[in-house]
Structure 1
């Protein structure tokens, strides 16, 4: 009767996933190292995944450190903050501007804010 296949190490898989996703690179790096130790100890498969997770996590950590040290992360955050805090939005219309609706009705499109000028 054939032997069942040797299982793949779960920490190696987790390290690879975290390395590919590039968030929490320190966690992926630690899991990869622990996975390699378990693979050596238990004879499991997944050495390549653990090594790839370590390499990708190290690259992610270096890129993250570079972004923070050069101010690139701050520039990205400032751009998000400015876009989220800007007055108006994609569908805002100022007084005197025109727009068309698909069916000619303003139902669900218009909201009154403030007072209306007359005459």
Structure 2
């Protein structure tokens, strides 16, 4: 007597990754901070609504965008301070 072949249940289908989250991460890494932040929030909102994968990508895009924005502001303040100090010292 032979035993019937046992079949396992098929695996769950892979969740689709949200495209906006991917684009947001790439745009943030490239350096378009504001666009990356906005797209990151849009992607995060879509992930919550649709249940797609990509929440981490959207969060990473938002974090990278804000870090780049803060660094840009610090750089601008530094440049303005150096230029201001150079113009003051050259008047003497």
Q: TM-score, normalised by structure 2?
A: 0.69
Q: Are 1:52 and 2:60 an aligned pair? A: yes
4+ residue segments displaced more than 6 Å? none
Q: How many residues align?
A: 73
Partner of 1:67 in structure 2?
75
For structure 2, the 5+ residue unaligned runs are: 1-9, 84-92
Q: Deviations over 1:39-76 (max 9, x none)?
A: 0001100001110110001001111112222217x98x
Q: CA RMSD in A?
A: 2.0
Distance 1:59 1:65 in 2: 10
Q: TM-score, normalised by structure 1?
A: 0.55
2:18 corresponds to which of 9, 24, 30: 9
For structure 1, the 5+ residue unaligned runs are: 76-119
Q: Which has the higher contact order (CA 8 A, sep 6+)?
A: 2
